[in-house]
Structure 1
Amino acid sequence: MVSGKENNQNFDPIILSARERFKIDYLFPYQRLVISNILEAAAATGNPEQGERRDANPHQIVILPTGAGKSLCFMLPALLLPGATLVVFPLLSLIADQARRLLEEGIEAGILRGGQDKAERDYVFDGVKSGRIKVLLSNPETVLTRDIIEKIKQLDITHLVIDETHTVSEWGESFRPSYLEIGRVAKEGEVPVVTAFTATASPYILERVKEILFPDTSPNVVIANPDRPNISYRVEPCLSKNHQLIMLLGKSTRNRVKRPAIVFCRSRTGAELTAQMLRSRLNEKEIYFYHAGLTREEKGKIEKWFFNSPDGVLCATCAYGMGVDKRNVRTVIHRDFPPSVESYLQESGRGGRDREPSEAILLFSNEDREY
């Protein structure tokens, strides 16, 4: 006998589309809600009479925990909506990872980034015009250039997605001021529907995002339960953090943790020194560091290695806190205290994205008492 819930899923057009395009048989209620909001908003803005009757705001801020299927919330609508969807990421590594995942599904994504020549840009724009390209991926600095905004205005861009939206406030007010202007893309590019996604947002960050992205309107806010029951959290007091890392990550030690593992460090130098120490003390060659100071080629090589590694250890700064979607990370260790609770949730959420058990360990010693 088929339950009512299963029967509804079988006849739900959104579920049927997810099954056909992504081989997904079930959507969480919050995924279904977000996708429905996007499709209804786009339909209303394309139909003035429906738009007058529709009471909901076309824009929304969506707060989903890491590993909760956020990408599907904007990738499925991208294939169902008329026109194209523009997705703005804060990091080139996220753009490359999303393009890879789409290609695995047989979907070509157009990438807009700095350093491209006219031929590369024209190929992307022609693809959007012809309907060959339904998804555009870019970063804030690129989409805010005058020529790109003019192109967006000329193209049929139905939906603007801003991913990792907490960085709009956190980074925009420090080292990436272009983020504070990101709202111009929708306004000047005449994009009718805007959705902002993040895994973590304090009340202050949420209000700042509203002010920056939606100054003239009140967007809907969708907040899913942030609990990740498959992640166990613990604080590990220690006298020496290096010694504790050796005990935790050594393959022959009694208290070793499961791998692959990420060790988050506060600074670039810290990530490099920690990787070098572990490589030497554990007598393992394949322990690498990752930070924003690496070249694009170096980052790509390390991302590919870690993605395919069954038991690798990556020592990283916050530059990997929104890294590629490696689903089987079993342990996330913070050698140093992160700058905020939001950062900690974002970084520890790198673990257990396959919904299997994972550990998040925060090392604590006397040097941390000032925090």
Structure 2
Amino acid sequence: MDYKAKIDKYLKEYFGYDEFLLSQREVIESILQGNNTIAIFPTGGGKSLCYQLPALIFPGTTVVISPLISLMKDQVDELAQRNIQATYISSVLTDKQIRQIIWNMKKGKYKIVYIAPERFYSQDFLEAMQDIYVPFVAVDEAHCISQWGHNFRPAYLKIRELIEHMGNPVLAAFTATATKRVQEDIMRLLGIEGKCNLFVESFDRSNLQFSVEDCEDKKLYILKYIRKYKHRSGIIYAATRARVEELCFFLKERGIAAGMYHAGLDSTTRNNTQEAFLNDEIKVMVATNAFGMGINKSDVRYIIHWNMPKSMEHYYQEAGRAGRDGKKSSCILLHSKKDYDLNRFMIDGNYPSISLVKSLYKRIKARGDKGIPQQLLLKSKTIDKHVLQSALRKLFEYDYAKVEDGIVYSIHNREFELTQEEIDWHKEIELDRLDAMAEYSKGKKCLRRFILEYFNEKAQFEKCGNCSVCSKDRKPLTQKALDKILEDIFGSS
């Protein structure tokens, strides 16, 4: 059976679909023809199918690089339900468990193996991959490789080295949000500039109605909206865990069956709440941006942002979780003058001094395999706890350290190379993105057009006629004008 026949057979047999979305077939065929491929699909466009299906057709083991451990685990569990052998390698596993997985890979036990990027700092791991037949590597959330991307991960810069250790297999990169500059960066840093097929789907979602609402009492607005559309499923995003809990309790006290989701809740609570939302046991989910990645619910009718996100990339990714079934849905940003200040405060707090980051790393590294309790690291008589947390986050973000059961360990005893200039540069990029988000929230021009132009897509219209800006521009008919129209239709009588 040729690969084209297998594409349709496996689509139905393993995934239960009769037809493809968007350019899925073209992307899959490009990969199976041995072409390096980049696919920029909007949220809900079915990116994961584009690498999971080819993995079943290729001989050997496909490697998928993903930055999100929770999403890796969810996808492995989902593949198991489809009778597809898959596993993942990340920092949450012991060295013994990782060695066993690599041994199983050599035996050909898995069709798909998800790998977290911090593995690339291990020379032992890179050398072990040379003995495994990997015909295809997929890079999920590929914008993480670009320093211009909204979730830059330094470990992604080592993907090219990994590819070379594997004998240069077919490479495909996937992301939902990438400007022209980020697309070019992805190709250059993966070493496939001018040597790949690029598929860019339109960012235009005509079924989504975008709105910016200026209001000081946001909780009251949300309450009224939910009561008006009580039979619809929706997600309300808030900037912090405290605000998620505040809003969820506010709604529950007023008879709204709402669930809440943030990274501070234990995994059992998060999973149970997520399942309740997916099964329509609760209609409203109040969450931080920790909720939504990989969530397969097509009938979310509204997304409300209680707080302005820090970038258009974050906003569009979250808003895009509405209306995946193609039906009319609303994306509402509640705006107040305090929103910019909150984001600015949070960004400032994410960029500590390099001297503090380095001193923390020295303490962690000195403890070797013993590690050091996270709570002990965060204790200081002279430095604020939030500042210490920010410095520790930088070590996690740049893969210098990891935390397991409350104990922080250094990763592979790396030399410290991060500089103050690099930290400051990334801060400036983040502030530029915040300024673009603030401009959107002012509502001075068609919101749908603003989004398309931000992602370097030419809008086919001046005004969409559907967003809150365009709706305000519509002038109501005067009685005189209405009488004239009726007279033209029915005559003077």
Q: Give the TM-score category using the shorter length.
A: 0.7 to 0.9
Aligned CA distance change for structure 1 residues 304 and 20 (closer, same or farther; 3 Å):
closer
SS of equivalent residue, structure 1 residue 326: coil
- 1:137 equivalent to 2:114? Answer yes
- CA–CA distance in 1 between the matches of 2:25 and 2:190? 24
Q: CA deviation at 1:323?
A: 4.4
Residue deviations 1:130-155 (CA, integer Å, cap 9, x gap): 33310001221234432322222211
Please point out which of 15, 19, 23 is paired with 1:26: 19
Q: Over residues 35-70 of structure 1, what are the superposed CA-to-partner deviations in whole Å (9 max), with x where a residue is unaligned?
A: 1111111xxxxxxxxxxxxxxxx3221101122222
Shift of 1:123: 4.0
Instruction: Quote how far apart the aligned CAs of 1:262 are.
Output: 1.3
Q: CA deviation at 1:204?
A: 2.1
Q: Cα distance, 1:338 vs. partner?
A: 1.7
With 282-291 and 324-333 compared, the bigger mean Cα shift is at 282-291
Report the residue type matching 1:349 in the other structure: G
Aligned-residue offset at 1:180: 3.1
Aligned to 1:277: 250
Aligned-pair CA distance for 1:217:
5.7
2:52 corresponds to: 75
AA matched with 1:67: G
Aligned counterpart, 1:44: none
Aligned position for 2:429: none
Count of aligned pairs: 339
Larger Rg: 2
Q: Secondary structure at the match of 2:130?
A: helix
Does residue 1:263 correspond to 2:256, yes or no? no
**Which residue in 2 is equivalent to 1:353?**
324
Distance in 2 between the 1:63 and 1:23 partners? 24
CA RMSD for the aligned pairs?
Answer: 2.8
- Aligned match of 1:333: 304
Over 3 Å counting, the alpha-carbon distance change for 1:356 and 1:138 in structure 2 is: farther
Q: Per the alignment, in what secondary structure is the counterpart of residue 38 of structure 2? A: strand
| Conserved 8 A contact 2:143-2:149 | no
Correspondence for 1:287: 259
**Deviation for aligned residue 1:78:** 0.3
Rounded Cα–Cα distance in structure 2 between residues aligned with 1:27 and 1:259? 27
Deviations 1:175-202 (A, max 9, x none): 7432333332212333411111011111
Q: Report the CA distance between 1:278 and its aligned residue.
A: 2.7
Give the Cα separation in 1 of the matches to 2:252 and 2:147: 33
Aligned to 1:15: 8
Which one has more relative contact order, counting CA pairs under 8 Å at least 6 apart?
1
How many angstroms apart in 2 are the aligned matches of 1:75 and 1:345? 25
Q: What letter is aligned with 2:295?
A: V
How many angstroms apart in 1 are the aligned matches of 2:150 and 2:15? 37
Letter of the structure 2 residue corresponding to residue 32 of structure 1: R
Residue 202 of structure 1 contacts residue 342 of structure 1 at CA under 8 Å; is this kept in 2? no
CA distance in 2: counterparts of 1:367 and 1:231, whole angstroms: 26
Aligned to 2:380: none
Retained in 2: the 8 A contact 1:275–1:289? Answer: no
Opposite residue 225 of structure 1, the aligned amino acid is: S
Check conservation: 1:161, 1:194, Cα contact below 8 A.
Answer: yes
- Structure 2 residue identity aligned to 1:14: I
Q: Deviations over 1:244-296 (max 9, x none)?
A: 111122xxx3x33653321112233333333333333x3446421314x4555
Out of 206, 212, 221, the residue aligned to residue 235 of structure 1 is 212
Query: Under a length normalisation based on structure 1, what TM-score does the superposition of the two structures give?
Result: 0.80
Does the 8 Å contact 2:90/2:119 carry over to 1? yes
Aligned ranges 1:57-206 → 2 under 5 Å: 58-169=35-146, 176-206=153-183
| Closer, same or farther: CA 240–72 of 1 in aligned 2, 3 Å | same
What CA deviation, in whole Å up to 9, does each residue of 1:90-138 have, x standing for no partner? Answer: 2122112211221221112111111323553344334333333100012
Contact 1:261/1:332, CA 8 A, preserved across alignment: yes
Q: Over residues 298-344 of structure 1, what are the superposed CA-to-partner deviations in whole Å (9 max), with x where a residue is unaligned?
A: 54444344333443422222333534333332221111122222222
Q: Distance in 2 between matches of 1:369 and 1:176?
A: 25
* Equivalence for 1:40: 33
CA contact (8 A) 1:261 1:311 kept: no
Instruction: Determine whether 1:220 maps to 2:197.
Output: yes
CA contact (8 A) 2:28 2:50 kept: yes
Stretches of structure 2 lacking an aligned partner (at least 5 in a row): 342-437, 439-493
Task: Look up the match of 2:352.
Answer: none
Q: Can you give the 5+ residue segments of structure 1 that lack an aligned partner in the other structure?
A: 1-10, 42-57
Task: Work out whether residues 231 and 357 of structure 1, in 8 Å CA contact, stay in contact via their aligned partners in 2.
Answer: yes
Q: Pick one of 289, 292, 305 that aligns with 1:318.
A: 289
* Residues 307/151 of structure 1: CA separation in 2 closer, same or farther (3 Å cut): farther
Q: Which amino acid aligns with 1:71?
A: S
Mapped contact 1:330–1:359 kept (Cα < 8 A): yes
